């Protein structure tokens, strides 16, 4: 499917800095358009937010307008990519947001009435329909909002699978252990002083920045957001959809107008850490559960137990007695635009001639990355 993309960059050289999902999809689409690609990554292997997340391609809660348009296009592109790169673990599994009270039900009913409900493939399910759609859900709920356009990739495997695919092209070079220390027109400079020149240079640096990379974004309207996540031992049953609880209505802009109208303030301690439940089964059977939306606290390196206690309790409430024990925990940080305009989804900044930086999509990196990369090379 990727070979059907028009080769508008044939004969050109593209340099991409950053090995996360933004950098990797930029490299992929530059290659598909006929460019030769040099791909730089600071670490031996990427270890930022991309590999610390759920792998969710989350259409259901995207805001009306440009955000939803990008999400639907990215969802389509992920499916195209999976034809050529099955190792990314793409599955069109949909999601169910579980509803526990009449106020949450009113939010879901409001979303069902919107003109874009069909594009999101929304369905309002009874409790029996929830269990038929996802038999592993044996907990407490009164209804469920199904989104047929939600999907997932295997976050810890996808980047490696994409790099292996690109390396087979003969026009892609991956260079880990190169930290960005500067740029000049049409070139990036690494810590060894090596210049990597290209017709296009794209910086996809994530949120963990230091030195020159941090200086690039000083004064930009960005904030860092911290997420808490965990992974369980394998669940004996298959979780056939991604799962969220009703708290997610509070945190996704696609539900914001109804959440403000119908939902009361979230109680503590969930509100203290801006917690919702998301749950995705990994291909090995374990469940990834999270997450939080709290601003990062400078200098805070430890993970707190209380947020994960709340998240684990929420997961047990929807999975029921079969919920496995937690095997490992971690945290991550991503960049988010602060107070963006309604259709301002991410930050694109030109930092020199032929050199641009892309960041700030928040927790939507996996959801939006292919569509944003496509925009970069149109």
| Cα–Cα distance measured from residue 181 to residue 193, given in angstroms and rounded to the nearest whole number | 8
Flag whether pLDDT at 1 surpasses 80: no
Mean pLDDT across the chain: 95
Q: Determine the pLDDT at residue 357.
A: 97
| Cα–Cα distance measured from residue 70 to residue 86, given in angstroms and rounded to the nearest whole number | 22
Flag whether pLDDT at 280 surpasses 90: yes
Q: Is residue 8 very low, low, confident or very high in pLDDT (cuts 50, 70, 90)?
A: very high
Flag whether pLDDT at 49 surpasses 90: no
Q: Please state which of the ranges 43-52, 270-279, 286-295 shows the lowest mean pLDDT.
A: 43-52
| Cα–Cα distance measured from residue 7 to residue 77, given in angstroms and rounded to the nearest whole number | 16
| Cα–Cα distance measured from residue 35 to residue 169, given in angstroms and rounded to the nearest whole number | 11
| Cα–Cα distance measured from residue 214 to residue 210, given in angstroms and rounded to the nearest whole number | 5
Flag whether pLDDT at 328 surpasses 80: yes
Q: Determine the pLDDT at residue 50.
A: 82
Any idea which fold 135-140+222-337 has? D-Amino Acid Oxidase; Chain A, domain 2 (3.30.9)
Q: Please state which of the ranges 143-152, 174-183, 204-213, 275-284 shows the lowest mean pLDDT.
A: 204-213
Q: Is residue 209 very low, low, confident or very high in pLDDT (cuts 50, 70, 90)?
A: confident
Secondary structure element (H or E) that encloses residue 350, with its range? strand 347-352
Tell me the per-residue pLDDT of 235-246, one tens digit each, with 9 for 90 and over.
999 999 999 999
Helix then strand then coil, in percent of the chain rounded to 5, is 35, 30, 35
What are the sequence ranges of the domains in the chain? 10-51+156-220+342-376, 135-140+222-337
Shortest CA distance to 222 belongs to which of 367, 376, 358? 358
Q: Determine the pLDDT at residue 346.
A: 96
pLDDT (average), residues 171-187: 97
Rg (CA), the chain: 21
Token pair for 120: 């999101």
Secondary structure element (H or E) that encloses residue 117, with its range? helix 117-120
Task: Count other Cβ atoms within 10 Å, centred on residue 167.
Answer: 13
Q: Is residue 296 very low, low, confident or very high in pLDDT (cuts 50, 70, 90)?
A: confident
Q: Please state which of the ranges 51-55, 175-179, 258-262 shows the lowest mean pLDDT.
A: 51-55
Q: Which CATH superfamily is domain 10-51+156-220+342-376 in?
A: FAD/NAD(P)-binding domain (3.50.50.60)
| Cα–Cα distance measured from residue 245 to residue 97, given in angstroms and rounded to the nearest whole number | 5
């Amino acid at each position: 499917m990727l070979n059907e993309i028009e080769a508008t960059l044939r004969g050109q050289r593209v340099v991409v800095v950053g090995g996360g999902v933004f950098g990797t999809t930029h490299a992929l689409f530059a290659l598909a358009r006929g460019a030769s690609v040099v791909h730089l990554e600071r670490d031996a292997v990427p270890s930022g937010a991309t590999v610390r997340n759920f792998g969710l391609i989350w259409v259901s809660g995207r805001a009306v307008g440009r955000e939803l348009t990008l999400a639907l296009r990215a969802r389509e592109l992920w499916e195209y990519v999976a034809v050529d790169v099955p190792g990314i673990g793409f599955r069109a599994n949909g999601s169910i947001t579980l509803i526990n009270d009449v106020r949450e039900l009113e939010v879901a009913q409001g979303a069902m009435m919107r003109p874009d409900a069909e594009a999101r493939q929304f369905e309002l399910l009874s409790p029996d329909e929830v269990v038929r759609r996802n038999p592993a859900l044996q907990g407490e709920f009164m209804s469920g909002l199904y989104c047929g356009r939600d999907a997932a990739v295997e976050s810890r495997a996808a980047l490696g699978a994409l790099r292996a695919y690109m390396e087979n092209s003969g026009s892609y070079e991956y260079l880990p252990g190169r930290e960005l220390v500067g740029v000049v027109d049409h070139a990036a400079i690494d810590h060894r002083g090596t210049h990597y020149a290209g017709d296009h240079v794209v910086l996809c640096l994530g949120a963990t920045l230091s030195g020159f990379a941090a200086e690039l974004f000083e004064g930009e309207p960005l904030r860092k957001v911290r997420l808490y996540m965990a992974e369980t031992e394998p669940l004996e049953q298959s979780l056939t959809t991604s799962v969220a609880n009703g708290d997610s209505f509070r945190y996704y802009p696609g539900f914001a107008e109804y959440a403000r109208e119908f939902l009361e303030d979230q109680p503590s301690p969930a509100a203290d850490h801006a917690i919702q439940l998301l749950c995705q089964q990994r291909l090995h059977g374990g469940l990834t559960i999270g997450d939080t939306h709290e601003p990062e606290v400078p200098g805070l390196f430890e993970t707190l137990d209380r947020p994960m206690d709340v998240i684990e309790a929420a997961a047990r409430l929807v999975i029921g007695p079969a919920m496995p024990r937690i095997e490992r925990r971690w945290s991550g940080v991503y960049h988010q635009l602060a107070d963006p305009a309604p259709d301002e989804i991410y930050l694109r900044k030109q930092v020199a001639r032929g050199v641009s930086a892309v960041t700030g999509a928040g927790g939507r990196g996996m959801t939006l990355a292919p569509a944003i990369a496509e925009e970069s090379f149109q």
